[in-house]
Amino acid sequence: MPWWTSARGSALEQEGEVVERLRGRDEAAFEQLVGEHEREVFGLARRMLGDHEEALDATQETFLRAFRGLPSFRGQASLRTWLYGITLNVCRNRLTSAHARSRKITQPLVLVDETGAQQPVPVPDTAPDPEQTAYGRELRSALEHALAALSFEHREIVLLRDVQGLDYGEIAAVLGCALGTVKSRLGRARGALREALKEVWP
Partner 1 sequence: MTCEELRRILEEEGTASSEPARAHLAGCPACAGEAERWAAVLVALRELGQEPAPPFLHARIMAHVRTEAAPRRERRWHLLRGWRAPALAAAGAAVVILGLGLYQAVHPPVAEVNKVARAVTQDVEVVPGGQRPPASSAPSVAAAPMAPSESESSGPLRHELEADVREARAKKVIASKAGSLAEDAERRGASTADAVAASGPAPAPARAATRRERAATSPSLDETHPPPLAGLLRSAETAGKGSDLVRCRLQVEGEDEAVELLLPAGQAPPADEVWLVTVHADGQLDLRDSQGERQLAPLVLQQSIGQQRQIRSGRYRLSQAPVPPTP
Binding site for partner 1 (CB under 8 A): 25, 27, 30-31, 34-35, 38-40, 42-43, 46-47, 53, 56-57, 59-61, 63-64, 67-68, 97-100, 102-114, 121-122, 124, 126, 136, 139-140, 143-144, 158-159, 162-165, 183-184, 186-187, 190-191, 193-194, 197, 201
Distance, CA of 120 to CA of 126 (rounded, Å): 17
Distance, CA of 182 to CA of 180 (rounded, Å): 5
CB of 76 to partner 1, least distance (A): 23
Do 190 and 197 meet the contact criterion of CB atoms below 8 Å apart?
no
CB of 176 to partner 1, least distance (A): 21
CB of 109 to partner 1, least distance (A): 6
Long-range contacts made by residues 20-29, C-beta under 8 angstroms, separation at least 24? 22/70, 22/73, 23/70, 23/71, 23/73, 25/70
CB of 46 to partner 1, least distance (A): 8
Phi, psi at 199, each rounded to 5°: -60, -40
Give 68 or 76: the residue with its C-beta nearer to partner 1: 68
Q: How many residues does the chain have?
A: 202
Give 147 or 173: the residue with its C-beta nearer to partner 1: 147
Phi, psi at 114, each rounded to 5°: -65, -25
Q: Distance of CA 94 to CAs 142, 145, 171, Å? A: 24, 19, 21
Partner residues linked to 119 by β-bridges: 111
CB of 81 to partner 1, least distance (A): 15
CB of 3 to partner 1, least distance (A): 30
